[in-house]
Structure 1
Amino acid sequence: MASSSSTNKVILKLLIDTSTEKVLFAEASKDFIDFLFNLLGLPIGTVIRLLTKNHMVGCISKLYESIENLNDTYFLNPTHHKEVLLKPNAPISSFLQLPSSNDATSCGDKSGPLKLYMCPSRCSHNVTDVKNTVCPNIYCKQSMNVEVQYYVEKKATEVTHSGGKGGFVKGIVSYMVMDDLVVQPMSTISSITLLSKFHVKDVGALQEKVVEFGMEEGIKLLKASLVSKNVLTTVLLNNMGRTT
């Protein structure tokens, strides 16, 4: 199964039981499996933002909304704490870049990498993310406007889009993803065993369908995985067309 990196999409091969109108399983590559595993590392704040508050089940979205509406005067550090709570960093997927706390949002927050500044006299080790903040040194009081480099160590799970390395699983084999997102290595014996497990009596009712999977489908899959045990059927069977 080849990926389509130019459009940030991957190709999935579905095996569908047309008699029950359900996806039995999908044949997937490393890229898709890494994306699924990355979902487990998403901060709850990122999940709420991706799904939007109006489509969340339960009341956790109300807690998120409370933080949005709470006046800055009640936070110890309004700039930092609201950023951490409302826009936590999301892990990097192997083919889909999920929004992080540095992404621009409808709230009008600044985007781009974090910038830090220090006093031009370097009279202390203090830094700030607000340019021209007055130096806390009582003998200095200059504007902290000298930008310093902010270094973030690259985690083992992060990958480059061009190299295709990193992630969680090896790319030397294909994988089977069940309708309920159970993942296992792809094999002919496993496929035959699954047909028996799913009580498939008419092999002629089985249909192969090739689909593309991108960011829009990824967000739908995230939402469906929280409320359904038939995720692939819900997201892929009726909403995606055959690739050319």
Structure 2
Amino acid sequence: MAAAKISLKILIEKKSQRVIFAEADKKFVDFLFSILTLPVGTVTRLLQKHDMAGSLHSLYKSFENLSDDLYLQPEQDKDFLLNPMVAIYGAKVPLLLPSVEQHSYSAKKFYRCSASHWYFCQNVANDRRAFCPSCNKLITNELRYIDYVDPVPKDTKASSSSEGGYVKGVITYMVMDDLDVKPMSIISAIILFTKFNVTDVGALEEKVVELGMDEGVKLLRASLQSSTVLTDVFLQNDQKIQNHNVKEEFGIEGVE
């Protein structure tokens, strides 16, 4: 899937310079939920150059540096842990993270014994490299297991089912600063204004931002370290620029 760019409308409380919420469509929400499918190895690899907190970076590097010949079992492939495929279960989501290999598991595959008398074997495996414990033959003959049968014919389904992804596209969503996602509603917006003590509409600023791969990685990192993710990703750079300008204009030191 080609790299995507997603536009997002955010509402900012100007005094505190914090995002109150973002008005998002299906694409952004699908991307957020796709983060939940990422294996730990993929997350660690993506964040290695971004001051990753914790010890997973060291664990990742130690496995990466182990000699294949001296220490690893012969059937092991380093990429299985260092660069695992992301299970997306047939959902098409915007690709906002670099070098993430997606693999669809919409239908599982199983294999049976390849021996001529396979009908006497009751052994099934999900890896065609396995050997049958009964006759010691490779289990390579493919079977197919459908774990869900839709009782509704495809041609009678709503057109929205062809959109893919995780959520429906006919709805506008509110994404909070901590990535809490809910359907857009006036009541939810009023509650947020009360929470932020917003009594004057003039204290709010609407801004349209774009997300590409760089912002996707920043959002992933912030989601693991912060409860003000949207503010950190979309306003942090603006705040640094403002502070830098203040230092230059007034010679003030220590402004962060």
Question: What residue ranges of structure 1 are gaps of 5+ in the alignment?
Answer: 103-121, 129-136, 138-147, 157-162
Match of 1:203 in 2: 201
Residue 203 of structure 1 deviates from its aligned partner by 2.0
Specify which of 55, 59, 66 is matched with residue 63 of structure 1: 59
Match of 2:183 in 1: 185
Match of 2:243 in 1: none
- Residue 74 of structure 1 pairs with residue 71 of structure 2: yes
Residue 54 of structure 1 deviates from its aligned partner by 6.2
Q: Secondary structure at the residue paired with 2:205?
A: strand
RMSD between superposed Cα atoms in Å: 3.5
Q: Is this contact kept in 2: 1:38–1:91, CA < 8 A?
A: no
Question: What residue ranges of structure 2 are gaps of 5+ in the alignment?
Answer: 103-113, 117-126, 130-136, 149-160, 239-256
Match of 2:223 in 1: 225
User: What is the percent sequence identity of the aligned residues?
Assistant: 49
Q: Is this contact kept in 2: 1:34–1:169, CA < 8 A?
A: yes
Matches within 5 A, 1:95-244: 95-96=94-95, 98=97, 99-100=99-100, 165-239=163-237
Structure 2 CA distance for aligned equivalents of residues 190 and 230 of structure 1: 18
Q: 2:225 is matched by which residue type in structure 1?
A: V
TM-score (norm 1): 0.67
TM-score (norm 2): 0.64
Structure 1 CA distance for aligned equivalents of residues 36 and 73 of structure 2: 30
Structure 1 CA distance for aligned equivalents of residues 100 and 143 of structure 2: 17
Structure 1 CA distance for aligned equivalents of residues 10 and 180 of structure 2: 14
In our comparison, the structure showing a higher alpha carbon Rg is 2
Structure 2 CA distance for aligned equivalents of residues 152 and 165 of structure 1: 25
Structure 1 CA distance for aligned equivalents of residues 35 and 22 of structure 2: 18
Structure 2 CA distance for aligned equivalents of residues 69 and 6 of structure 1: 31
Give every structure 1 segment of 4 or more consecutive aligned residues whose post-TM-superposition deviation is greater than 4 Å. Answer: 150-156
Q: 2:211 is matched by which residue type in structure 1?
A: F
Structure 2 CA distance for aligned equivalents of residues 217 and 224 of structure 1: 10
More helix by share: 2
Q: Secondary structure at the residue paired with 2:197?
A: coil
Match of 2:93 in 1: 94
Residue 172 of structure 1 deviates from its aligned partner by 1.0
Q: 1:11 is matched by which residue type in structure 2?
A: S
Q: Is this contact kept in 2: 1:37–1:168, CA < 8 A?
A: yes
Structure 1 CA distance for aligned equivalents of residues 220 and 4 of structure 2: 17
Q: 1:196 is matched by which residue type in structure 2?
A: T
